[in-house]
Amino acid sequence: MNPANDPNAALQALLGGAGLASTLFPPTSRYAGLAVATLQQPDGTTLVYVRRRFISSPERFALLQEHVVVEGERLDNLAAAYIGDPEQFWRLCDANAVLAPEELETPGRVMRITLSDGMPGAAGS
């Protein structure tokens, strides 16, 4: 592949020159603050990847309320209603220990609405 058309090479050049490893993603991204790493393949190509993101157990999230999902509700709309940003749907997934977002759209599902991990809530809230 032509290096000028190689997205891994382009990203590597961007990271190497600007020291952006921990600031590649906006602060609202689930990947904010994660380091970017590289892996040299045996054939000489370099893979650029984001280091693994660990999610806390749901008990660490301060519960604000619960929401029972009804037919037709979408996770992005619920995130907009409860968090104020539809792109923050991943926070609902984290708080409910769900990897596949569509799991939270099942009618009858009780969804935990919480503060972000690490934000203390009032006792019993």
What CA–CA distances, in Å, run from 64 to 31, 86, 103, 105, 112?
24, 18, 20, 19, 8
Distance CA 96, CA 114 (A): 9
Query: Has residue 123 been placed in a domain?
Result: no
Please give the sequence-ordered ranges of beta strands (E in DSSP) within 4-115, or none if there are none: 36-40, 46-50, 63-68, 110-114
Domain of residue 109, residue span: 58-114
Report yes or no on 21 lying in a domain.
Answer: yes
What's this model's pTM, rounded to 2 decimal places?
A: 0.69
CATH number, domain of 78, equals 3.10.350
d(CA 98, CA 93) in angstroms, rounded, equals 5
pLDDT at residue 119 is higher than 50: yes
**Do 74 and 108 belong to one domain?**
yes
Q: Is residue 125 part of a domain?
A: no
Least confident of 19-33, 44-58, 81-95, 97-111: 19-33
45 and 78 share one domain: no
Q: Can you say whether residue 42 is alpha, beta or left, with left for phi > 0 and alpha for psi between -120 and 50 degrees? A: alpha
Give per-residue pLDDT as tens, 48-95.
999 998 888 888 899 999 999 999 999 999 999 999 999 999 999 999
Q: Name the domain count of the chain.
A: 2
For residues 31-50, give the mean pLDDT.
92
- Whether 85 is in a domain gets the answer yes
